[in-house]
Amino acid sequence: MAPVSAGNRKTGRDTPPPTEPRGPGRKLREWARRRSSWLLIGALIVVLAVVTVAENSGGSDTAPLSARNPAPNGAMAVAEILRQHGVTVTQSDSFANTTALLSGKPQATVLLYDPNGFLGASQLHRLEGTAGRLVVVAPGFRTLSGLGAGIRNAGVVPTSTTTVEPGCRQANAVAAGTVSGTGGFLYAGAETTCYRPGNGDGGMYAASADGRLVVFGSTELLSNQLLQNEGNAALGLRTLGPAPELIWYLPGIGDVPKDGRAPTLNDLAPPWVGFLGLWLAIVAVLAVLWRGRRLGPLVFEPLPVVVKAAETAEGRARLYQDSRAVARAADNLRAGTLARLAKHFRLGPEASAEAVLDAMARRLDRAPQELRPVVLDHKPHSESELVRWAQSIERIEQEAIAR
């Protein structure tokens, strides 16, 4: 006898397990369980958004050579050192703000880093005229042309060169000594040129005769990553630190002159680039004419494949079978039989069907009217009828040839 559950001994029946009430809490748990993956993705997106906002709202920026950038490509370290030496460093991101900061401060030094060439010639002349000293870092062709001081680009520091000696009598360079040559540009045409890595006239440091215009050939000299190497810090401090005010100016797209336009490739490229492009185009056309394929007349060549007649016949038969072309197949069989018999009876290729039929009747010693229904007039309407008729006409052909 089966045991009776303790929950209901009097009745002898099992008590069903208690059911969980279907209230709002259970519905909420079921909804969350069904959509758990989407909830997880949403939470991840929210976390990423919070992290992004926190990073963008921080006190530092990521602009290269920015005085507020603590990253390796920034220049916060040299700015802090200058402040410790009593120099007021103010970073500016617009031309209007820079000119406003310069008003009433004729001795202030301006550091200009404009790798995109946003400033025009008039803006550069205004900075050079109002600042006590203008230090331009790694200027491009457009900036050098706008300055109009005769300083020109003279190439780059060889990759094998890691350090460069002063090689001049300029006081700041002599005091700083050896500096890093990594990633440096060379400039020539100035009254004073220092840090020449080779025998050329280009150096990483170029200055005018009065020292109010200085060109630094490398951003690495002031970067946080290499500031402590060699005499980089000394050269930066002695060049940027004589005046009590330093305006750290990084132009933006908003500084493009309103009466002008953003620099194009034609503006930034040297004058000889146009001639070089035309010459390269001519060389390319000549190379195409020299090495290009010349398509001559079509040449018919025999295929290196021999297809057996039986395979060709079988292939054609399969095509007729697939398309159910019973009448077309019967016409081909009849034409083949008449052609072979005409050749056998030496009637010539122009012999008519009636002539072949008469020759066949004479050879078989039968009346033409007896052979005509089978050889010429019969039109099969099905595949099975076609097979039977083909066997009949082949048998007649074999008898005519055998006699």
Closest CA to 378 of 337, 330, 320: 330
Instruction: Note the pLDDT tens digit of each residue in 385-394.
Output: 888 988 988 9
Residue range 258-270: average pLDDT?
A: 65
What are the boundaries of each domain within the chain? 76-261, 309-402
Given a cut of 70, is residue 225 above it in pLDDT? yes
For 113-138, letters b (16+ CB in 10 Å) and e give bbebbbbbeebbebbbebbbbbbbbb
Residue with more model confidence, 38 or 214: 214
Task: In whole angstroms, give the CA distance from residue 70 to residue 72.
Answer: 7
Residue range 161-188: average pLDDT?
A: 89
Residue range 57-72: average pLDDT?
A: 79
Instruction: Note the pLDDT tens digit of each residue in 292-308.
Output: 766 667 777 776 667 67
Instruction: Note the pLDDT tens digit of each residue in 93-133.
Output: 999 999 999 988 888 999 999 998 899 889 999 999 999 99
Q: How much is the pLDDT for 248?
A: 94
pLDDT tier at 60 (50, 70, 90 boundaries)? low
Q: Is 135 helix (H, G, I), strand (E, B) or coil?
A: strand
Given a cut of 50, is residue 8 above it in pLDDT? no
Look up residue 236 and give its two tokens: 């930066």
Residue with more model confidence, 350 or 265: 350
Burial class of residue 246 (count of CB atoms within 10 Å of its CB; 0-12, 13-18, 19+): buried
Look up residue 107 and give its two tokens: 């001795």
For residue 315, how many other CB atoms are within 10 A of its CB? 11
The label of the residue with tokens 């933006």 reads 252
Strand ranges (E), 57-202: 88-92, 109-112, 133-137, 152-156, 163-164, 179-180, 185-188, 192-194
Q: How much is the pLDDT for 4?
A: 44
Task: In whole angstroms, give the CA distance from residue 237 to residue 244.
Answer: 12
pLDDT tier at 56 (50, 70, 90 boundaries)? low
Residue range 137-143: average pLDDT?
A: 91
For residue 390, how many other CB atoms are within 10 A of its CB? 16
Task: In whole angstroms, give the CA distance from residue 106 to residue 97.
Answer: 15
pLDDT tier at 41 (50, 70, 90 boundaries)? confident
Burial class of residue 376 (count of CB atoms within 10 Å of its CB; 0-12, 13-18, 19+): middle
Task: In whole angstroms, give the CA distance from residue 128 to residue 11.
Answer: 107
Residue range 44-54: average pLDDT?
A: 73
Task: In whole angstroms, give the CA distance from residue 82 to residue 109.
Answer: 12
Instruction: Note the pLDDT tens digit of each residue in 274-298.
Output: 888 889 999 999 888 887 766 667 7
Contacts made by residues 234-237, CB under 8 angstroms, sequence distance 24+:
234/175, 234/176, 234/177, 235/172, 235/173, 235/176, 235/179, 235/205, 236/78, 237/78, 237/81, 237/82, 237/85
Burial class of residue 234 (count of CB atoms within 10 Å of its CB; 0-12, 13-18, 19+): middle
Number of Cα atoms under 13 Å in the Cβ half of residue 25? 2
- The DSSP output letter for 63 is -
Burial class of residue 171 (count of CB atoms within 10 Å of its CB; 0-12, 13-18, 19+): exposed
- The DSSP output letter for 15 is P
The pTM of this model reads 0.53
